[in-house]
Structure formats: C-alpha cells, structure tokens
C-alpha cells in the first residue's frame, strides 16, 4: 500500500447506530458496541436488544450461584446472529496489580483499546458468582460480525451512524432509551432521520 493512501477507518470502541430505514429484524434500531475493527472485518455486540432470560436464569443454567444482587434481574441481551448459543460478557476493564493495561485477569478476553473488555470464558462468571468480578457487566448470547470490507460497504450505503462509545450508555441507560440516547451523542433525534426528512 502506498504511504499516501488513505488510512482505513477504525471503529473499535465506537457505537454503530442503525439508521431508521434498516428493516433487518435483528439490527433494526440497534446500537452495537464495536469490540474489534480491522482490515479483516469487525466484531461487535448489540447492547439494546434484551432477550427472554435474565442473569439469574443464565447462572442457574450454568449451575453457578449469583451472589450479586445488583445483577440478577439484568437481562441477557441478543448480541447478534453469530454463535447465539455462546455467552459474551462485556465489562469494565479489570487490571490486577502488576499487569499491563492491555492484559486482563480473565482468560479468553479481548481488551478493547481505550475501551471495555469482552470475555468469553467461564472464569468471569465464576468471579461474579462469588460476589466479585467487574463492577459493571452486560451479557449477550451471540455476537455480530462483518467480513473483510463488509462493514465499510454498509457504512457507504448509510446503513449505520457511528459515534465514540459511551460506557455509561451500555451499563446505566434504561434499555428502551439506549437507541435515542446513542443518537443524542451525535446531537440527533429519531425524527431528524425519518425517510424523506430534510427534503423540500
């Protein structure tokens, strides 16, 4: 690649916000936290589509007690259409003493540069089970993925808006308001994006 070639956009640690015209059932009105984006593709978790079970149900299924009263009623989210039987835990960074900032105390963890961590191993559930673990978590079943160039082509079609991710939206915003609050990070409201809006 020539030195003066434009650098590809990297949306790691950003939100993808579905445009109102997107009709795909899984992705309509979705807000996706991008855990990884490179020339090879992208991976993210939908953070505003709760499923039918909560964390207390999930922990019962994996035969662990849940000694975190703040988490039991929290929903398990639909993270995306890939590996929907597998759990993904998005959480605040947890760094043990003596560890570098790009490491995690949990196995099978993706450390998002400047952002959160995403863990797929049971040890984070065991930590939560014993009353410890990360302070804030969002658990999904499944994830969202794009192959090489796929997300870029969807962006070129105006399928998505992008904005720097705000962890408080992921962990603290009421679930039904996350889509509107993500748009608000761009100074937008849903009505401004309605098909035909802004045309005389």
> What mean pLDDT is reported for the chain?
90
Residue, of 51 and 196, whose pLDDT is higher = 51
Question: Which of helix, strand or coil describes residue 197?
Answer: coil
User: 14-172+179-184 belongs to which CATH class?
Assistant: alpha beta
pLDDT per position as a tens digit, 19-42: 988 888 899 999 999 999 999 999
- Range in 55-69, 104-118, 158-172 the model is least confident about: 104-118
Residue 71 confidence (pLDDT) above 50: yes
Position 185 pLDDT exceeds 90: yes
12 within 8 A of 34, measured Cβ to Cβ: yes
Q: What are the residues whose beta carbons fall under 8 Å from the beta carbon of 74, sequence distance 6 or more?
A: 54, 55, 137, 138, 139
Q: What is the mean pLDDT of residues 95-111?
A: 71
For residue 1, pLDDT over 50 is answered with no
Residue 199 has pLDDT above 70, yes or no: no
Does position 200 have pLDDT exceeding 50, yes or no?
no
Domain locations in the chain?
Answer: 14-172+179-184
Structure tokens at 67: 């000694």
pLDDT category of residue 94 using cuts at 50, 70 and 90: confident
Query: In this predicted structure, what is the pLDDT of residue 97?
Result: 57
| Of 69, 52, 43, 70, nearest in space to 172 by CA | 70
Separation between Cα atoms, residue 101 and residue 30, nearest integer Å = 30
pLDDT of residue 34: 98
């Amino acid at each position: 690649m020539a030195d003066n070639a434009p650098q590809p956009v990297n949306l790691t640690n950003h939100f993808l916000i579905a445009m109102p015209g997107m009709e795909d059932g899984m992705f309509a009105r979705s807000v996706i936290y991008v855990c990884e984006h490179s020339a090879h593709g992208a991976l993210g978790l939908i953070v505003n589509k709760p499923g039918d079970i909560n964390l207390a149900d999930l922990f019962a299924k994996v035969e662990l007690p849940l000694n975190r009263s703040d988490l039991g009623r929290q929903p398990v989210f639909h993270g995306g259409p890939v590996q929907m039987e597998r759990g993904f835990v998005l959480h605040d960074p947890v760094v043990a003493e003596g560890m570098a900032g790009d490491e995690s105390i949990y196995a099978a963890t993706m450390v998002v540069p400047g952002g959160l961590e995403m863990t797929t191993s049971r040890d984070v559930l065991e930590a939560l089970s014993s009353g410890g673990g990360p302070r804030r978590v969002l658990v999904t079943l499944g994830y969202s993925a794009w192959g090489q160039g796929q997300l870029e082509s969807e962006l070129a079609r105006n399928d998505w808006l992008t904005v720097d991710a705000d962890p408080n939206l992921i962990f603290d915003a009421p679930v039904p308001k996350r889509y509107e609050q993500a748009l608000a990070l761009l100074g937008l409201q849903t009505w401004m994006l309605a098909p035909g809006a802004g045309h005389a």
